[in-house]
């Protein structure tokens, strides 16, 4: 898709066929939407400049054509009246140059949102990095990602497979937490004020502004709002991976954690009423594609003396007396 067509689209001067072509192009890939957002940002800036500019559209068009024809032996003459729509585009191109320079030097970093609502999604960022977002997760990444590989995790559960580039570290901001990598794969969860980072490959540096920890394969760190300590631990299960693997792999997992994972996956409210069973361990593999009721029935059948009741939106686990 050419910039001239995109500028016409911004000017609302495209034909019906051109508008459909632009919309199809936007739907094809994330990188296309990023490119359009970049151009739209410049166009927005150029509009603010145009109110202060005394640019003559005819002169801008003549200069524009002179530059494009400077390499040919014979000048191309186009009647001015026939090119009035393009005069505005030529003026926009002149304004864009100034706006782009101002934004590069003084402008704040703009971000493009990427979110998953009721299903897991996998997308590629402009640098080739792959991100998988669990349901109800949201990130935003720098629109000018070629120069600034920065991402903000607003909420949810995201797996990053980062393209290797030593010259441009990949940085994720989660509230006051900063995660820096060069090329690696890891999971970041940010829910209810807590942030968890689990590394699958490579090295990940996690900082809260006061201290830094370096995580390697199989290690994790949990950061809580109430504590400034970064405590590195070994990751002992694969439950964080359920939304990519499609399975809940429970191995010596306390029922309390079983309930926590199912609450997160199904947006449920499972509570353990009987404290005596909270730390009882559970071993099985459940399919994430199955309904919550189906998986709860399996749990009830495989855990001895387990009772499941429902009351006012709650699912209550207790022991049969």
pLDDT tens per residue, range 116-134: 988 999 999 999 999 999 9
Domain boundary assignment for the chain: 3-106, 111-234, 239-319
State the pLDDT at residue 176. Answer: 84
Q: Where would I find the H helices in the chain?
A: 3-10, 16-28, 30-50, 57-68, 84-106, 242-245, 255-266, 292-302
The band of 248, judged by pLDDT with boundaries at 50, 70 and 90, is very high
Distance between CA atoms of 124 and 148, rounded to whole angstroms?
16
What's the mean pLDDT when you consider all of the chain?
82
State the pLDDT at residue 95. Answer: 59
Tens digit of each residue's pLDDT (9 = 90 or more) over 157-190: 999 999 998 888 999 999 889 999 988 999 999 9
φ, ψ of residue 144 in degrees (nearest 5) = -90, 65
pLDDT: is 63 or 140 the higher one?
140
Does residue 278 surpass a pLDDT of 70? yes
Number of CB atoms found within 10 A of residue 194's CB: 12
Distance between CA atoms of 46 and 49, rounded to whole angstroms?
5
* pTM (two decimals): 0.67
State the pLDDT at residue 231. Answer: 85
The band of 214, judged by pLDDT with boundaries at 50, 70 and 90, is very high
- C-alpha separations of 194 from 52, 113, 121, 205, 219 in Å: 48, 22, 23, 17, 17
State the pLDDT at residue 196. Answer: 95
Distance between CA atoms of 301 and 55, rounded to whole angstroms?
78
Say what percent of the chain tops pLDDT 70.
Answer: 78
pLDDT: is 303 or 92 the higher one?
303
State the pLDDT at residue 10. Answer: 78
State the pLDDT at residue 108. Answer: 55
State the pLDDT at residue 96. Answer: 59
Tens digit of each residue's pLDDT (9 = 90 or more) over 49-103: 555 555 455 555 555 555 545 544 444 444 444 444 555 555 555 555 555 555 5
Does residue 273 surpass a pLDDT of 70? yes
CATH code for the domain defined by 239-319: 3.55.50.30
State the pLDDT at residue 75. Answer: 45
Half-sphere exposure of 115 (CA within 13 A, CB side): 9
Mean pLDDT in residue range 209-237 = 88
CATH (one of 2.60.120.260, 3.50.50.60, 2.60.120.1440, 3.30.750.24) for 111-234: 2.60.120.1440
Distance between CA atoms of 153 and 253, rounded to whole angstroms?
28
The band of 224, judged by pLDDT with boundaries at 50, 70 and 90, is confident
Check: CB of residue 248 under 8 Å from CB of residue 285: yes
């Amino acid at each position: 898709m050419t910039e001239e067509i995109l500028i016409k689209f911004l000017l609302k001067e495209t034909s019906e066929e051109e508008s459909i072509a632009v919309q199809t192009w936007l739907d094809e890939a994330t990188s296309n939407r990023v490119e359009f957002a970049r151009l739209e940002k410049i166009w927005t800036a150029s509009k603010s400049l145009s109110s202060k500019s005394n640019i003559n559209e005819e002169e801008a068009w003549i200069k524009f054509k002179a530059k494009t024809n400077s390499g040919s032996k014979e000048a191309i003459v186009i009647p001015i009246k026939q090119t009035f729509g393009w005069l505005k585009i030529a003026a926009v191109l002149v304004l864009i140059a100034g706006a782009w320079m101002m934004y590069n030097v003084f402008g704040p970093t703009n971000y493009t949102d990427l979110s998953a609502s009721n299903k897991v999604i996998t997308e590629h960022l402009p640098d080739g990095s792959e991100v998988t977002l669990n349901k109800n997760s949201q990130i935003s990444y720098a629109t000018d990602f070629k120069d600034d590989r920065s991402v903000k995790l607003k909420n949810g559960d995201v797996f990053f497979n980062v393209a290797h580039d030593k010259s441009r570290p990949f940085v994720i901001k989660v509230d006051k937490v900063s995660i820096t990598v060069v090329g690696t794969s890891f999971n970041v969860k940010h829910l209810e004020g807590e942030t968890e980072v689990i590394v699958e490959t490579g090295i990940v540096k996690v900082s809260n502004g006061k201290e830094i920890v370096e995580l390697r394969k199989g290690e994790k760190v949990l950061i809580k709002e109430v504590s400034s300590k970064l405590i590195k631990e070994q990751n002992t299960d694969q439950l964080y991976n359920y939304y990519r693997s499609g399975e809940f792999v429970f191995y010596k997992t306390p029922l309390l954690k079983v309930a926590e994972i199912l609450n997160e996956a199904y947006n449920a409210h499972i509570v353990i009423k009987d404290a005596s069973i909270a730390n009882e361990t559970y071993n099985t593999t459940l399919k994430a594609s199955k309904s919550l009721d189906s998986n709860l029935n399996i749990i009830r059948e495989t855990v001895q003396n387990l009772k499941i009741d429902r009351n006012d939106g709650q699912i209550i686990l207790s022991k049969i007396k």
